[in-house]
Amino acid sequence: MKSPKKHDFDETDFARAKAEIGGIAKQSGALVWGVAAADAFDDAPEGRRPFDLLPKAEGVLVVGGAQPRAGDWQSPNYQHMEVTTTSDRIHGLALKLARVVEDRYGYYAVCVPPGVDHGQQPFMSIAMAADLAGCGSKSLAGPVLHPEYGFMYFGAIVTTMPLPADSPPGTPACPAPECVEMYSAEGLTPCTRVCPIESGGCLGGRIEGGRIVERQYDQARCATRVQNYWVPGFQKVLGETLREKDSEKQKMMLYSSMFSRTLWSMTYSNVSQGQCAECMRVCPLGRAHRTRQ
């Protein structure tokens, strides 16, 4: 049996340990990583802070990556993205790093679950953690965006290890200079134009002095577009199917493409967590990484 090595660290070792963990994260596929101070989550509701998940938490280690590949963005079959882009890979990496923190350094580590807790609320906002750890910043489109890579998935580990904390980026990644320019000319950015809230879309906002000063995001409307085939889609189609009085029609509904896809999307097949990525498709951040020959 393997025995975990539990070292006693002094203060000066934590910076080195942080670099080691970052090295493992990058070697394992993370594009970005950082540490948020556990006491920096002032904006999070009670019950959803690092201390609520792990007593005596000192920091939140954040890793980001596993974003759709350049080829994924190019596929003319939009359903391809539904099936192949999920947060699974980055969550697996976060689980691995939690083990590294415990086995190599002897500190408690808890991987923040990617799903939702009571009332459809996340256990802890991984987006907020990513922002506070300097892995990106909130965007007009919704996701936390990295200045170089743009959209990606994040995983977070709450730990009692006092790793030196990073800070949120001084200059937010969003809006990108191109978007500021476009907003000045048209009053819209690429993302707010592709899904305008005033025309039945989900996004809106204002930019002043090159910064976001107002953001409008219709989360409920977005969910009806992004999650047509997943738990919400299944619940919707189940209700309609049960209300159908004609048994022949009901049978057709049960075996329909819609119902089949909702079931596929809920299983381990990793199908269809999200079915709309249009606001990210037009985002200039990370475009270089979405572009190949």
Least distance to another protein from the beta carbon of 50, Å?
11
Q: Could you write out the three-class secondary structure of 177-236? A: HHHHHHHHHHCCCHHHHHCEHHHCCCEEEEEECCEEEEEEECHHHHHHHHCCCCHHHHHH
| Residue 166 binds another protein, judged by CB under 8 A | no
| Residue 118 binds another protein, judged by CB under 8 A | yes
Q: For another protein, which stretch binds (CB under 8 A), given 19-27, 76-84, 116-124, 282-290?
A: 116-124
Least distance to another protein from the beta carbon of 74, Å?
25
Least distance to another protein from the beta carbon of 216, Å?
25
How many residues bind another protein (CB under 8 A)? The answer is: 47
Nearer to another protein, 12 or 267 (CB): 267
Report H helices in the chain: 13-27, 50-53, 70-74, 79-84, 88-105, 126-132, 177-186, 190-194, 219-226, 231-243, 247-254, 257-266, 278-281, 287-290
| Cis ω for the linkage preceding 175 (within 30 of 0) | yes
C-alpha torsion 69→72→74→78, nearest 10: -150
Least distance to another protein from the beta carbon of 157, Å?
8
Least distance to another protein from the beta carbon of 223, Å?
12
Distance CA 244, CA 240 (A): 6
* Residues from 24 through 53 that contact another protein (CB under 8 A): 47, 52-53
The residues, ordered by sequence, that sit 6+ positions from 38 with a Cβ below 8 Å of its Cβ are: 49, 50, 51, 57, 58, 59, 60, 158
| Residue 234 binds another protein, judged by CB under 8 A | yes
Least distance to another protein from the beta carbon of 63, Å?
16
Q: Which one among 19, 116, 252, 288 touches another protein, defined by CB under 8 A?
A: 116
Binding residues for another protein, per CB under 8 A?
A: 1-2, 4, 6, 47, 52-55, 86, 88, 95, 98-99, 102, 106-111, 113-120, 123, 158-161, 230-231, 234-235, 238-239, 242-243, 266-270
